[in-house]
Structure 1
Amino acid sequence: MNLPAEAVNALHTFQAAAGWEQRARLLMQWGDRLPPLSEADKSETHRVHGCESQVWLVGKLHDGHWQFAASSDARLIRGLVALLLARVNGLSAQDLQQVDLPDWFNQLGLSRQLSPSRSNGLNAVLQRMNELAIALPF
């Protein structure tokens, strides 16, 4: 499966990082670049359940390709979510179902930093993306 351009950019950036400290700094920077969600989007309707931190997710379908926006109240989680968005934005619903989350974060060199609760939270976000894609298939 082809990676979206933003995902290729993320891979190159994180693979070039020298060690965890630099990756952690990059992670925060990626999270800070997320466009803010409106207060309306930070509603219970858009909250992802299964995350210890608060995470909100909205998605729109454009010409058969999904574009998601998200935010979190936790800075580290915002960075991880930003990297997830880089991986999935622009995918079709079918390609979205093929995303291997552990493999993606492993390629970025971040898998060891994913605690079970963070991993579960990110899986919940990806699951919610798939639910949205199934609910609006076209």
Structure 2
Amino acid sequence: MASPAFEDIADTFDFLDDWEERYRHVIELGRAMAPMEPALQVPATKVEGCASQVWIMPRIEDGRFDFQGDSDAMIVRGLIAILHALYSGLTVAEVVQVDAQAELARLGLDEHLSSQRSNGLRAMVLRIRQLAADAA
């Protein structure tokens, strides 16, 4: 159930030859993402369980899920951009049905992130799922 935006990322990952290039691409995705307003970077939007500072603010319109996110680490901003591509535009019911672990495994992230980054990514996925479940 991946979105076209996520499929584009998966296709790009398949095209790139090595992980150094893929990491650069993840960072580029983060740089391209609009920054989150500092006023939204508050304890209520902070994601616990991440080594870096991470904030996620949901936006739900007409039952469709979207969010703003930000981090103080560029690679994590890129991971937020990947999650945005995975979830944005889905209904709140669809968000909780996405097998994020399987979708992200398609990118090889499960094998190439440090344990701290992997734990943080899981924390972000859990937070997004919880925000969507609360809105359902």
**Same fold? TM cut 0.5:** yes
Moved over 6 A (4+): none
Partner of 2:74: 75
State the distance in 2 between where 1:64 and 1:136 align.
8
Unaligned runs of 5+ in 1: none
What is the CA-CA distance between 1:24 and the residue it aligns to?
A: 1.1
CA offsets 1:10-58 (integer angstroms, 9 cap, x no match): 1111111111111011011001011100011111111011111100001
Q: Which residue of 2 aligns with 1:122?
A: 121
Contact 1:57 1:68 in 2 (8 A): yes
Tell me the secondary structure at the aligned position of residue 59 of structure 1.
strand
Aligned to 1:18: 17
CA distance in 2, matches of 1:66, 1:56: 16
The structural deviation recorded for 1:135 is 2.0
Percent identity over paired residues: 35
55-64 or 94-103, which deviates more: 94-103
Match of 2:133 in 1: 134
Q: Distance in 2 between matches of 1:28 and 1:35?
A: 13
Query: Is the Cα contact below 8 Å between 2:96 and 2:133 reproduced in 1?
Result: no
Q: Give the number of the structure whose residues are more often helix, by fraction.
A: 2
Q: Secondary structure at the match of 1:52?
A: coil
How far 1:6 sits from its partner (Å)? 1.0
Map 1:1-138 → 2, pairs under 5 A: 1=1, 3-137=2-136
Q: 94-103 or 19-28: which moved more?
A: 94-103
Count of residue correspondences = 136
RMSD over equivalenced CA pairs, Å: 1.3
Instruction: Tell me if the contact between 2:92 and 2:135 (Cα under 8 Å) persists in the aligned partners.
Output: no
1:48 alignment partner, SS class = coil
Unpaired runs of at least 5, structure 2: none
